[in-house]
Structure 1
Amino acid sequence: MTTSPSAEQPPRTRRGQAKAARRAELLEAAARLMAERGFTGVTLEDIGRAVGISGPAMYRHFSSKTDLLDQMLVDISQRLRDGGAEVVDGATEPEQTLRELIRFHIDVLVTKPDLIAVQDRDLTSLTPAANHQVRSLQRRYVEQWVDVLLAVDDAGRAGLSRAEARVRVHATFGLLNSSPRLPAFAPDDLRALLTTMAWAALVAPRG
């Protein structure tokens, strides 16, 4: 029976730590190359060459290029879902929690733009099991935001339905996740601009 990929557990041995570090290096190189060329424009050999290892050695880490993509996109989806849960678990009041969710998401965008670009474009290249897992993680991440946005709305805004709150969250993600394709802009200025725009999109008055 096959199982869907999941984020790896922290390695406990020195050898395991070295393997995890090499895996992370390969995933970073793969994200960079796939963001530039697309999934179909990159081979496992290209990825190995980028970090100085032979093509055959790649199979010690990934069974195929698709397996690599599966692991890459499950990892980033898990990171977003878990990071969102951490923000919500440390919540004080709804408005501050929503601002912290925006900050967290933008931090990921700014530090991992290649991963976001690959996730946005190559989701359909995943295996069915990984696609299901990624979409499930994404749905749970969206619902974290929806819950917080509704709590903000209950504190004094326009009586959003859950369906409308979900639309606002998805629209905000579309706005934020387009940032890797934007013209060059100073990172600190981009972070500030995206933060302002995301907040405005989420809490905009209904027309």
Structure 2
Amino acid sequence: MSAELDIVSVDEALLRFLVAARKTEPSSSSTTRRLILDTSIRLFAEEGYVASSMRMIANACGIRAPSIYEHFANKRELLFAAMTDVLGDFQAFIVEVVDADLEPGEQLHRLVGRHAAWQLRFPARAGAWDSLAASHTVERHLLPEEVTEFTRQRRLYLDVVTSLTAAAFPSPQPHIRARAVLSLCDQIMSWSGPSVPSDEPRLLDHVWVLARAILTSALAADVTSPRAK
């Protein structure tokens, strides 16, 4: 079966994502637990998961090391909780602009802007997630079933963007276009330069101009054409 035939409908993709987002919505937690989660995700990204000991995390939190074990049994459990927390935040942020009544092009426009806004407004959390994902920390240190769950969650969001891309810009290889647009959003901090909150509208407009260039280009068709080989 070709990749293009393996695209779910927009309605189905949105429904799956919305259901998953509700399940992973960050739960309320104690002040100490919240501090441990925020500190650990930062240290895992900056120092690396292996190098970040529970004692180091405790010191950065200003608490005694045994206090961490009142909330998390071990470092692997802490990693899973921290990554789940960031994922839940991201999904909840994205869900705010999901509207099943919108045309695919307008919905995609909103999602692209929202995704880029997440990177701009929450650079520490977004950067930590991207860093840990790029280093394959999840795959190396979590249990197989936990890795499977993260992979499933990320695929649900990709499916939404892919289905909207296929519906709004019906050209070859929507999967490639969707991934390219998401990469554009993820890397906005690396190419936008220093920004202030007032710059956000201008940057989001710029992101959409670049995204449209990707979505309407002949790149995806060229990637798989015999001439490209």
TM-score under structure 1 normalisation? 0.75
User: How far off its partner does 1:8 sit?
Assistant: 6.7
**Measured at CA, do residues 77 and 202 of structure 1 come closer, stay the same or move farther in structure 2, by a change above 3 Å?**
farther
The match for 1:36 is 46
Aligned residues: 188
Is it true that 1:68 corresponds to 2:82 in the alignment?
no
Matches within 5 A, 1:109-124: 109-110=119-120, 111=122, 112=125, 113-121=127-135, 122-124=137-139
Matches within 5 A, 1:73-92: 73-89=83-99, 91-92=101-102
Whether the 8 Å CA contact 2:25–2:88 is kept in 1: the answer is no
Residues 108-143 of structure 1, C-alpha deviations (whole Å, 9 max, x = no match): 222122233223322223221210110000111101
User: How far off its partner does 1:96 sit?
Assistant: 1.8
| 2-structure distance, mates of 1:143, 1:73 | 21
User: Over the residues paired in the alignment, what is the CA RMSD in angstroms?
Assistant: 2.8
Whether the 8 Å CA contact 2:25–2:89 is kept in 1: the answer is no
The match for 1:160 is 171
Which structure's relative contact order is higher, taking Cα pairs within 8 Å and 6+ residues apart?
Answer: 2
The match for 1:204 is 217
User: How far off its partner does 1:32 sit?
Assistant: 1.5
Whether the 8 Å CA contact 1:81–1:137 is kept in 2: the answer is no
User: Structure 1 runs of 4+ off > 6 angstroms?
Assistant: none
| 2-structure distance, mates of 1:70, 1:148 | 30
The match for 1:170 is 179
Give aligned-pair identity as a percent.
22
| 1-structure distance, mates of 2:207, 2:131 | 17
| 2-structure distance, mates of 1:196, 1:117 | 26
Unaligned runs of 5+ in 1: 1-5, 12-16, 154-158
Q: Aligned partner of 2:194: which letter? A: F
User: How far off its partner does 1:194 sit?
Assistant: 4.0
Whether the 8 Å CA contact 2:25–2:91 is kept in 1: the answer is no
Unaligned runs of 5+ in 2: 1-22, 223-229
| 1-structure distance, mates of 2:72, 2:158 | 29
Whether the 8 Å CA contact 2:58–2:64 is kept in 1: the answer is yes
User: How far off its partner does 1:89 sit?
Assistant: 3.1
**Measured at CA, do residues 128 and 120 of structure 1 come closer, stay the same or move farther in structure 2, by a change above 3 Å?**
same
